[in-house]
Chains A and B, each alone.
Chain A
Amino acid sequence: DAKTTQPTSMDCAEGRAANLPCNHSTISGNEYVYWYRQIHSQGPQYIIHGLKNNETNEMASLIITEDRKSSTLILPHATLRDTAVYYCIVRWGSSNTGKLIFGQGTTLQVKP
């Protein structure tokens, strides 16, 4: 599976959009981009995933560049409860195992 690179930490003002970048320059055609977050002392929570088209759900939007080498997770109106570690993971879409391997993620601190 391709490796991802994320900033270690980011701050965001409450009510503003939080834009979390992820680089995955070695991604291959069969690999999807997944985003999870982990609030302190809890299990990871699924946010969104995509292949090449932009995706949106009730939690967030995922913008994937045309060359698929990077993506951005957008939380449109961040709240204090969005403070968490956000993980960007690339995983095979056609593998029977399809393991999610976690990197260090980005610690997002939403401030009042």
Chain B
Amino acid sequence: GAVVSQHPSWVICKSGTSVKIECRSLDFQATTMFWYRQFPKQSLMLMATSNEGSKATYEQGVEKDKFLINHASLTLSTLTVTSAHPEDSSFYICSARERQGAILAKNIQYFGAGTRLSVL
């Protein structure tokens, strides 16, 4: 399957600082990328969907000014957690959809390995 690379895998930061997480599709072009968040012992929660060259669409309850998403190219999307606080500590996972044809269902969504954010 296609490879999605996420960096860093683990980050520790002080409260009030900003953290940027990168998500790259290594061997395919991803017109759409997704960002999820997962708290311990819970399922993945979709935060936002980003399409290359346009503004991200955020899920209800997700603050767009706090979680800045940039999808500047077909292989790179970034998530910036601004003014991070301890409650933002979580496992952040990106996903990219490989476009194999006109039928959306054949375009499989692949996931990165995740970034564990700890805010002190």
Contacts and interface: CB of A to CB of B under 8 A. Distances in A.
Interface of A: 32, 36, 38, 41-46, 49, 51, 87, 91-105
A88 to B, nearest CB: 12
A99 B46 contact: yes
A93 B114 contact: no
Interface of B: 1, 4, 6, 34, 36, 43-46, 49, 57, 91, 93, 95, 97, 103-105, 107-114, 116
Q: For B43, B97, B110, which residue has the most chain A Cβ atoms within 10 angstroms? A: B43
B34 A43 contact: no
Nearest to B91: A41
Interface of A is mostly: loop
Given A32-B105, A51-B105, A93-B105, A44 B46 contact: no
Nearest to B108: A46
A103 B43 contact: yes
B16 to A, nearest CB: 27
B23 to A, nearest CB: 10
B43 A102 contact: yes
Contacts of A38: 44
Given A46-B1, A49-B108, A98-B104, A104 B43 contact: yes
26 contacts: A32-B105, A36-B111, A41-B114, A42-B113, A42-B114, A43-B4, A43-B6, A43-B114, A44-B111, A46-B110, A87-B43, A91-B105, A92-B104, A93-B104, A94-B104, A95-B104, A96-B104, A98-B104, A98-B105, A99-B34, A99-B46, A100-B34, A100-B95, A100-B109, A102-B45, A102-B46
